[in-house]
Structure 1
């Protein structure tokens, strides 16, 4: 897609991109690292169990070639002879194979971790395409592999010549040693030479592993358009989400405005804030905020309140405190009970006075008891 759009892969891969690549079996792998582990641990296993394997083979062959007349003609005796012969070699050979298996698993999962993908194991027609095969043969990855192969040949050949020179006289001395001592000695020389040659692969692995990790990360990089497309697919189109949020907000405001006519009082700033309060003793133990708003929404709340003869009381400090400390549908904070109670008492007395059932209430105290921590 980056090639088609002309954009460069400059963006870091997202978590989803990395997870998807793992599902496809695309993880950083270094064949040289796996090979190095197998070779080195094979040499170590040969040093640990090589002598036992050699002794077991020597005894097994000696036993198989020294059958007496009765054992030769007894058809059932052969199986017991095989069991006796193989019993000496089974344990050291099993440990040798086990060490190599563990080394192979560790070496091949050390970079990129353990990952199994059915999608990667499935056959693909694209892998059989001659054109893609030619591109891989002459691509940059093939050039890197060629350089590694040349470097491996030079290192291994150089160390091999050096080791032959170091062990030259010891190798010649094997011809005059007695069997089975010469076999064990030759195996020891072979194991140490094998270990030394295997260690040369550490140099290749130290170069290849960081390169494979860098190359894999580079291949996972994304274009800016890919990041945007992924965000849209996973999170949704930002424009659609914004439209949904706007619709939800408008619906919430409409529901809120429908509650204003039932308010007992609307307290105002008076120019910027409006908060509608309702005190229903049957449903709540404290007054509730049923609507609130700033600027245009505050003006709309006051307009609806006037149209439905809901008392409007100016109290800037209380209005700001209620607006910033409560949400629509919440009960007022306990610290504001006294201040709101004074407002409601004034409103109820005013309603009685308007109906001719009482005296005109005293003007509401402008300095209502509001804690300093709730003032805004």
Structure 2
């Protein structure tokens, strides 16, 4: 369509939102070859495990029919019961294999993508009934790839069947006179050989097709620079997104602030509700606020100060005033110089006393 951007303009990887929106619409990467691989695997399982049971059940039913053939009369009520019995037996025999194949088909889809519940693929679209769109799809790159895959699979499976059946050509002539049990075992053996050989080849085809489909789908989801900017503006305008971004920024800022606490010279507390960590070294024009907080944040600051042997001084008026007027990594206001100088002087005297005591001991 004319409104759709050219593929050459889609240079940016899709955002998480773009991928989620595609998934909600039912637009997911899916390889039909991988589904075929799972179905073949299920068929091999059925042949190897269910064939004896199936053969025995059907053989028993046929023997019973042959033994009591004279009891069924066409047009009588018993004849309907006869067909009901046959239908019930066949349905019972076929039910378990059908359930196994359904389970493998479901697993094939779950392996490729998470469950999708969307009505979007069912909505009527003009492009699906348009002759022009149909002609484009018929001669598209995907159609050629699918045609090549189908031709390759048909050729490979035919060749495999030839390789399996040719050595058994003399044995096949004797199957006409073989008893049913031997006949079923022979068919089971040959069927498993054909399925396993085909499965080995389809494994390679399915792997390559899965990577191709994933890459094609990812390329289709790519965005233009305009789409990236529009999506960013849309997300920025969402109140929930804004609140989430503010929460993330606040959390990162708190983490950076806590990393500054070990570099502080003193922590001034309320003592329980406020905590302000200050740093002062010789040559600095004024002490700098390294961290501040109330309640739980204040408690964490005090815990880090205790862990790193940083002096904690209780001065409720000064702690509240500094918390209200100074920002992180900024110098304290001039009006608090005198009070903070007294606290730092006290801390420096305390350190000298501790140092003298350590040397004398």
TM-score, length-scaled by structure 1: 0.61
The number of residue pairs the alignment matches comes to: 277
Q: 1:69 to 1:45 in 2, by over 3 A?
A: closer
Query: In 2, are the aligned partners of 1:22 and 1:115 still within 8 Å (CA)?
Result: yes
Query: In 2, are the aligned partners of 1:2 and 1:8 still within 8 Å (CA)?
Result: no
Q: 1:199 to 1:113 in 2, by over 3 A?
A: farther
State the Cα distance separating 1:65 from its structure 2 match.
4.5
Partner of 2:17: 16
State the Cα distance separating 1:40 from its structure 2 match.
2.8
Partner of 1:161: 162
Q: 1:285 to 1:185 in 2, by over 3 A?
A: closer
Query: In 2, are the aligned partners of 1:9 and 1:224 still within 8 Å (CA)?
Result: yes
Partner of 1:236: 237
Q: In the alignment, is residue 335 of structure 1 matched against residue 313 of structure 2? A: yes
Separation in 2, partners of 1:5, 1:180: 63
Query: In 2, are the aligned partners of 1:43 and 1:192 still within 8 Å (CA)?
Result: no
State the Cα distance separating 1:210 from its structure 2 match.
0.9
Alignment of 1:1-376 (within 5 A): 4=5, 8-67=9-68, 72=73, 77-78=78-79, 81=82, 85=86, 89-236=90-237, 317=286, 320-321=288-289, 325=292, 335=313, 337=315, 340=318, 367-370=341-344
State the Cα distance separating 1:285 from its structure 2 match.
10
Instruction: Compare the two structures and name the one with the higher helix fraction.
Output: 2
Query: In 1, are the aligned partners of 2:271 and 2:314 still within 8 Å (CA)?
Result: no
Query: In 1, are the aligned partners of 2:31 and 2:213 still within 8 Å (CA)?
Result: yes
Q: Where do 5+ consecutive residues of structure 1 fail to align?
A: 246-283, 289-315, 344-363
Query: In 2, are the aligned partners of 1:13 and 1:222 still within 8 Å (CA)?
Result: yes
Query: In 2, are the aligned partners of 1:338 and 1:369 still within 8 Å (CA)?
Result: no
State the Cα distance separating 1:143 from its structure 2 match.
2.3
Q: 1:149 to 1:285 in 2, by over 3 A?
A: closer
Q: Secondary structure of 1:335's match?
A: strand
State the Cα distance separating 1:28 from its structure 2 match.
0.7
Query: In 2, are the aligned partners of 1:33 and 1:205 still within 8 Å (CA)?
Result: yes
Q: Where do 5+ consecutive residues of structure 2 fail to align?
A: 247-269, 275-284, 303-311, 322-337, 349-361
CA RMSD between the two structures: 4.1
Look at both structures and tell me which one has the larger radius of gyration over its CA atoms: 1
Query: In 1, are the aligned partners of 2:12 and 2:223 still within 8 Å (CA)?
Result: yes
Query: In 1, are the aligned partners of 2:30 and 2:214 still within 8 Å (CA)?
Result: yes
Separation in 2, partners of 1:222, 1:126: 22
Partner of 1:294: none
Moved more, 94-103 or 171-180: 171-180
Partner of 1:297: none
Q: Secondary structure of 2:61's match?
A: helix
State the Cα distance separating 1:180 from its structure 2 match.
4.4
